[in-house]
Structure 1
Amino acid sequence: MRRLAFLGLGTMGHGMVRNLLAAGHRVHGWNRTPSRAADLDGTDGFRRAGTPAEAAAGAEVVFACLSNDDALRDVLFEQGVLDVMDEGASFVDCGTTSLDLTAEIARRSAERGVRFVDAPVTGSKLGAEGGSLTFMVGGAEADVAALTDLFEAMGRCVVHVGTSPGAGQAAKVCLNMTQAVMLEGIVEGLVLARRLGVGLDEMLTIFENSAARSGIGGFKAPYLLRGDFTPHFRLDLMHKDLHLAAAEAARRRIPLPAARTVLSLYDQANAEGLGPEDFLATAKLLERWGRCSLRDEEG
């Protein structure tokens, strides 16, 4: 089995590492906050590194699942991960990263003789834990083929979007924008239904048996009705991804009116301190504005 490094053992990375270990691989892991992954210590095949460069040194494949561009740039360039990687090794970015930084990583990796693949994921915390993630992959055919068994250890669907660096990231930005817009439509429909006297269970049953049915709605509705905003995907991260989508749209002079309206909602939710909660927590603003609750039977 291959020697792997994994940088970022948070909400997504933790479960991904567990599945790599279950597949028999050895993983040298690093997390900025060690306590978040303390339960991995002592697991067969896992070794903790004190620095990201220590984790990456000698690894055949280095995965990163970090929160934003600043974190990735710091780890890869400032803390020396790319400098210590062996020629011919692979660097795989599983976070959601801007296309500008992705292009820079591709260029600097090529200069070092490192194979770069962008492979952002979707599936939330439960998908990471259950090994049912979807990977959106950008990279050369041979480089992606060499990683397929690792992707399949962590996920159920691997889509090779294109051979150009950034193809996977482009798809991920489009996906997250779409999911955010869809979820807001569902929650707004429930707010209006509540105020019109339609029961939430009845409205959700109608959604599920009509063209309004959606994966995001079916997954999030039970959490909404329980008032459970434990993060499967944090609001501040979706906020960041919506800004990435808006920036790419602006470059191409594409208006995207629905996405821009949803982005303004995320701007406010993040400003009100909801960033650490699940991105479903934008519902709290809609409930307040609609003067109703979506968590009990009293309007």
Structure 2
Amino acid sequence: MSTIAFIGLGIMGSPMAQHLARAGHEVVGFNRTPEKAKPLIDAGGRAADSVAEAVRGADVVALMLPDSPDVTEVLTGDDGVLAHAAPGTLVIDFSTIRPDTAAELATNAAEQGLRMIDAPVSGGQAGAENAALSIMVGGADEDVDQARPLLDIVGKTVVHVGPSGAGQTVKAANQLIVAGNIALLAEALVFLDAHGADLPAAVEVLGGGLAGSAVLNQKAPKMLDGEFAPGFRIDLHHKDLGIVTAAAREAGVTTPVGALVAQLVAATRAAGDGGLDHSALYRTIARLSGREETS
């Protein structure tokens, strides 16, 4: 069993840390909001008062943080992981950040004698709570092999997709596909409603054909019920589509549909819906159609 420092105990990080603790690992959690450590403590883990305290003596450091600057600060800051973790420590970054940042941080870690892999996840809050996440992993073979028993505790589908940064590239593609599906699902429901269709019946039959998807299964009920409590917030998907846009430009490829969806997500955020689930993109589509009463 490993001693694991888990930094970031939010909607995703908290249940992941709890799974690791319940599996018998010694998990020491840190979050900027201390009360968020309580579920981990209840699951058998313990809380630290700083990143430095959490990582001292840890075999593995796991990160689940909002954005590239957060990961960079936690790793490279004066009170950060690189300054206080022992040589040989394995760093697993579950956050979703820029691929180039992930590769650069892995290089920084190696220069300090640490090993780092990027392991962003997909599946949202439900996936984290049910240990059913899809995890796309970038890093050296031997480091991924060492991390795999831990990844298998929190994930259902764990795939090594390439060197450092590759996990983040695949995650960016995942977020592009998800956002596009949500936008088209929203358009379809507004379209169906405008024609007076039985929406639950329509969703049922669409789900049984080629239009069926995990997005339809999980997000159509939220749209139909007007219930947009966050499993994955618009704010975070807005950030992720910014990663897609930047990475696509750097690679010299075009994402015309993705660019349009990114604008729709940005408009949803600007309308004050950034804290809602990304299925709240439906509200923007409804407003654009002059059908606010359906949202």
| In structure 1, C-alpha distance between the alignment counterparts of 2:205 and 2:110, rounded to whole Å | 52
Counterpart for residue 246 of structure 2: 247
| In structure 2, C-alpha distance between the alignment counterparts of 1:180 and 1:135, rounded to whole Å | 18
Q: Secondary structure at the match of 2:254?
A: coil
Counterpart for residue 290 of structure 1: 289
Alignment partner of 1:41 is 2:50: no
Q: Secondary structure at the match of 1:6?
A: strand
Q: Residue deviations 1:152-181, cap 9 Å, x none?
A: 11111111101x111111100000111100
Cα deviation, residue 294, structure 1: 4.3
| In structure 1, C-alpha distance between the alignment counterparts of 2:196 and 2:61, rounded to whole Å | 53
Counterpart for residue 115 of structure 1: 115
Q: Is the 8 A contact 2:232 2:278 kept in 1?
A: yes
Which stretch has the larger CA shift, 78-87 or 286-295? 286-295
Report sequence identity in percent. 37
Alignment partner of 1:104 is 2:122: no
| In structure 2, C-alpha distance between the alignment counterparts of 1:275 and 1:196, rounded to whole Å | 29
| In structure 1, C-alpha distance between the alignment counterparts of 2:140 and 2:254, rounded to whole Å | 32
Count of residues in correspondence between the two structures? 293
Counterpart for residue 57 of structure 2: 58
Q: Residue deviations 1:256-297, cap 9 Å, x none?
A: 1111000111111112221111111111111222233446xx
Q: Is the 8 A contact 1:190 1:294 kept in 2?
A: no
Q: Is the 8 A contact 1:7 1:30 kept in 2?
A: yes
Counterpart for residue 217 of structure 1: 216
Cα deviation, residue 70, structure 1: 1.5
Q: Secondary structure at the match of 1:272?
A: helix
Amino acid in structure 1 at the alignment position of 2:36: R
What pairs up with 1:1-299 in 2 under 5 angstroms? 1-44=1-44, 46-78=45-77, 79-162=79-162, 164-292=163-291, 293-294=293-294
- Provide the aligned C-alpha RMSD in A: 1.3
| In structure 1, C-alpha distance between the alignment counterparts of 2:251 and 2:160, rounded to whole Å | 24
Cα deviation, residue 122, structure 1: 0.7
Q: Is the 8 A contact 1:131 1:156 kept in 2?
A: yes
Cα deviation, residue 110, structure 1: 0.8
Q: Is the 8 A contact 1:187 1:283 kept in 2?
A: yes
Q: Is the 8 A contact 1:18 1:129 kept in 2?
A: no
Q: Is the 8 A contact 2:29 2:40 kept in 1?
A: no
Amino acid in structure 2 at the alignment position of 1:37: A
Q: Residue deviations 1:74-104, cap 9 Å, x none?
A: 1111132111111111011101011221122
| In structure 2, C-alpha distance between the alignment counterparts of 1:156 and 1:39, rounded to whole Å | 22
Taking structure 1 as the reference length, the TM-score comes to 0.95
Q: Is the 8 A contact 1:220 1:280 kept in 2?
A: yes
Q: Where do 5+ consecutive residues of structure 2 fail to align?
A: none
| In structure 1, C-alpha distance between the alignment counterparts of 2:131 and 2:276, rounded to whole Å | 23
Taking structure 2 as the reference length, the TM-score comes to 0.96
Cα deviation, residue 52, structure 1: 1.1
| In structure 2, C-alpha distance between the alignment counterparts of 1:211 and 1:195, rounded to whole Å | 23
Q: Where do 5+ consecutive residues of structure 1 fail to align?
A: none
| In structure 2, C-alpha distance between the alignment counterparts of 1:37 and 1:218, rounded to whole Å | 32
